[in-house]
Amino acid sequence: MNYADFLSNKAITDSPSGFDVDCLEIDGAKDNLFDWQADIVRWALAKGRASLLEDCGLGKTPQQLVWAYNVLRKKGDVLIVAPLAVSQQTHREGLKFGIEANYSRDGSKSSCGITITNYEMLHNFNPGDFQGVVLDESSILKSYTGKYRNQLIDEWSHVPHRLCCTATAAPNDLMELGNHAEFMGAMSRSEMLSMFFVHDGGETQKWRLKGHALNDYWKWVCSWAIMMRKPSDLGYDDGDFTLPPLHMHEITVDVDHTKATNNLFLMEAQTLQERQRARKSSLKERCERAAEIANSTDEPYLIWCDRNDESTLLKKLINDSVEVKGSDKIEHKERSMLGFSDGTVKRLISKPQICGFGMNWQHCCKPIFVGLSDSYERFYQALRRNYRFGQKKEVHAYIITSVLEGAVLANIKRKEKQAQEMADGMVKNMHVYNEKNIKATNREQTIYNPSKKMTLPSFMKG
Task: Residue 335: give the domain boundaries.
Answer: 243-404
- Span of 149-153, 206-210, 332-336, 353-357 with lowest mean pLDDT: 206-210
- Is 56 domain-assigned? yes
Burial class (CB in 10 A: 0-12, 13-18, 19+), 213: middle
What pLDDT is attached to residue 7?
Answer: 43
Q: Cβ distance 71 to 78 under 8 Å?
A: yes
Distance CA 348, CA 340 (A): 7
Task: Note whether residue 340 is domain-resident.
Answer: yes
Closest C-alpha among 106, 193, 88 to residue 144: 193
- Report how many helices (DSSP H) and strands (DSSP E) the chain contains, helices first: 17, 17
Distances (CA, A) of 234 to 65, 76, 118, 286, 354: 21, 31, 31, 43, 32
Q: Name the packing angle between helices 376-383 and 406-437 (round to 10°).
A: 70
Residue 455 lies in a domain: no
Residues 193 and 333 in one domain: no
In a domain, 414, yes or no: no
Within this chain, do residues 102 and 215 fall inside the same structural domain, yes or no? yes
* pLDDT score of 148 more than 70: yes
Q: Which residues pair with 12 in a beta bridge?
A: 446
Please give the pLDDT value at position 264: 43
Q: Which of 404, 429, 457 is the last residue of a domain?
A: 404
> Is 437 in contact with 42 (CB distance < 8 Å)?
no
Q: Are the CB atoms for 64 and 135 separated by under 8 Å?
A: no
Contact 354, 325 (CB under 8 A): yes
Which DSSP letter does residue 108 get?
A: P
Rounded to two decimals, the pTM is 0.80
- Please give the mean pLDDT across all residues of the chain: 82
> Span 405-426, mean pLDDT?
73
Same domain for 47 and 186, yes or no, is yes
| pLDDT of res. 347 | 97
Residue 452 domain-assigned (yes or no)? no
Amino acid 101: pLDDT: 94
Q: Using an 8 Å Cβ cutoff, are 403 and 253 in contact?
A: yes
For residue 57, what pLDDT band results from cuts at 50, 70 and 90? confident
Return the pLDDT at 439. 60
Confirm whether 453 is domain-assigned. Answer: no
**Strand pairing category for 197-200 and 203-209:** antiparallel
> What are the CA-CA distances from residue 7 to residues 1, 12, 221, 444, 447 (Å)?
10, 10, 21, 16, 8
Whether residue 8 has pLDDT greater than 80 = no
What does the pLDDT average to over 62-79? 95
DSSP-based three-state secondary structure for 367? strand
pLDDT confidence of residue 216: 85
pLDDT higher than 60, residue 27? no
Pairing of strands 347-350, 301-304: parallel
User: Across residues 162-179, what is the average pLDDT?
Assistant: 73
How many beta carbons lie within 10 A of that of residue 202, not counting itself?
6
pLDDT at residue 220 is higher than 60: yes
Mean pLDDT calculated for residue range 422-436: 74
Q: Are 231 and 315 in the same domain?
A: no
Which CATH number is 10's domain given? 3.40.50.300
Rounded-to-integer distance, Cα 127 and Cα 302, Å: 37
Q: Is 410 among the domain residues?
A: no
Whether 251 and 233 map to the same domain: the answer is: no
Q: Average pLDDT of 218-245?
A: 87
Q: Between 277 and 414, where is the model more confident?
A: 414
**Percent share of the chain, pLDDT over 70:** 80
Is residue 126 located within the same domain as residue 163?
yes
Asked if 231 and 101 sit in the same domain, the reply is yes
Phi and psi based region of residue 257 (left: phi greater than 0; alpha: psi -120 to 50; beta: remaining): alpha
In a domain, 454, yes or no: no
- Please count the other Cβ atoms lying within 10 Å of the Cβ belonging to residue 11: 10
Do residues 130 and 102 touch, judged by C-beta distance below 8 A?
A: no
How confident is the model at residue 349, as a pLDDT? 97
Same domain? 59 vs 195: yes
CA distance 60 to 211: 32
Q: Do residue 9 and residue 141 come from a single domain?
A: yes
For residue 336, name the pLDDT band (cuts at 50, 70, 90).
very high
In degrees and rounded to multiples of 5, residue 19 shows phi and psi of -150, 150
Whether the CB-CB separation of 187 and 164 falls below 8 Å is answered with no
Select the more confidently predicted residue: 444 or 23: 23
Is the pLDDT at 259 greater than 60? The verdict is: no
Do the beta carbons of residue 158 and residue 17 sit within 8 Å?
no
pLDDT computed for residue 386 by the predictor: 94
- Is residue 311 domain-shared with residue 381, that is, in the same domain? yes
Please report the pLDDT score of residue 265 as a whole number: 44
Q: 263-278 pLDDT, tens per residue?
A: 544 455 456 566 667 6
CA–CA gap between residue 182 and residue 192 (Å, rounded) = 9
- Domain total for the chain? 2
**pLDDT of 261 over the 60 cut:** no
Averaged over 400-404, what is the pLDDT?
82
Identify whether residues 299 and 226 lie together within a single domain. Answer: no
Instruction: Please tell me the distance from the alpha carbon of residue 372 to that of residue 455, in angstroms, as a whole number.
Output: 60
Looking at per-residue pLDDT, the higher value among 202 and 433 belongs to 433
pLDDT in tens, 46-55: 999 999 989 8
35 and 166 in a common domain: yes
CB 116 within 8 A of CB 102: yes
Residue 318 has pLDDT above 90, yes or no: yes
pLDDT at site 442: 42
